[in-house]
Amino acid sequence: QFHLMKTDLLKGKTVVVTAGGTQEAIDPVRFIGNKSSGKMGYAIAEQAALAGARTILVSAPTHLEVPYGVEFVPVQSACDMQKQVEAVYEECDAVIMAAAVADFRVAEAAERKIKKMEHMSLELVKNPDILKGLGEKKTHQKLIGFAAETNDVIEYGRAKVRNKNLDMLVANDVSKENAGFNVDTNEVTFIYPGEQITNLPLMSKQDVAKRIIAAVAEL
Ligand code: CTP
Ligand code: CA
């Protein structure tokens, strides 16, 4: 199959890819999650490995198969993901943050299953911004972020590139059909520091992944 073609684009490089939607525990049997399927991140990890990179996939739970030749690090919450990514940050050349990281977690997850009651509220606290933290201590690494927006995609995207000290942001408008969550296609824009942007047409996530890996190799 053409999409499984090997190249040497990232030979000798170490790439960390995050994927999936983090799960924030409420009690031992429940969590707060999001609609990410992990498909985009897994496709990127597959292409990074095919491009010859040592590829470490730090993934929140998904229903996907781990791509061939990829080192797999399973995680659940945003805090777990942060710990595992930071553990390999020094030795890696690029971090591609395709994970949908929950912005909040439950302040204190219950140790026992919460019983049904008439009223219920949960106190949420802010999660660490993993990518921003990496941006603050960046030395030689290239940092690639993702942003799914419903409006003002380029404007919000540029702000994220600046605030998180990114080398590239993959932005998509999830209000468009066939782009974003749980579909096999995506229509994205690469946003770089400064003014440069690259609009890609609607294509398979497999092809988007190949374009992302080519762009990372350029960086
Ligand atoms: N991200 C992260 N840690 C978080 C939240 C987001 O590392 N706690 C990363 C995502 O993996 C993504 C990028 O930051 O690569 C942008 O995520 P997004 O949710 O679009 O941005 P936020 O900064 O969370 O802003 P908002 O959700 O308010 O748009
Ligand atoms: Ca967010």
What are the structure tokens assigned to 130, written together?
């993993």
Q: What is the DSSP letter of 66?
A: P
Which of 36, 80, 101 has the most ligand 1 atoms within 8 A of CB, as the residue to mutate?
101
CA of 99, closest atom in ligand 1: 11
d(CA 146, CA 157): 9
- pLDDT for res 1: 57
- pLDDT for res 2: 64
Q: What is the pLDDT along the chain (219 residues), one digit of tens a residue?
A: 566 789 999 999 999 999 999 999 999 999 999 989 999 999 999 999 999 999 999 999 999 999 999 999 999 999 999 999 999 999 999 999 999 999 999 999 999 999 999 999 999 999 999 999 999 999 999 999 999 999 999 999 999 999 999 999 999 988 887 777 778 899 999 999 998 999 999 999 999 999 999 999 999
d(CA 130, CA 84): 11
Which amino acid, residue 30?
R
CA of 156, closest atom in ligand 1: 29
Pocket of ligand 1 (CB under 6 A): 78, 97, 99, 101, 103, 127, 129-131, 145-147, 160
What are the structure tokens assigned to 205, written together?
């996530």
Nearest to 109 by CA among 41, 23, 180, 169: 23
| Active site (catalytic) residues | 34
219 and 168 in contact (C-beta within 8 Å)? yes
Q: Is 164 annotated as a binding residue?
A: yes
Task: Indicate the SS3 state at residue 188.
Answer: strand
d(CA 135, CA 143): 7
> What's the CA-to-centroid distance between 60 and ligand 2, angstroms?
15
Could you give the ipTM of this predicted complex?
A: 0.99
What is the number of other CB atoms lying within 10 angstroms of the CB of residue 66?
Answer: 15
Torsion angle (degrees, nearest 10) of CA 103, 106, 130, 177 = -30
Q: Is 202 annotated as a binding residue?
A: no
- pLDDT for res 183: 82
CA of 100, closest atom in ligand 1: 11
Task: Indicate the SS3 state at residue 165.
Answer: coil
- pLDDT for res 59: 98
Nearest to 77 by CA among 101, 111, 44: 101
Q: Is 130 annotated as a binding residue?
A: yes
d(CA 160, CA 155): 9
Alpha carbon separation from 33 to 9, 30, 64, 154, 170 (Å, rounded): 35, 9, 17, 26, 22
d(CA 184, CA 84): 28
Which of 97, 142, 165 has the most ligand 1 atoms within 8 A of CB, as the residue to mutate?
97
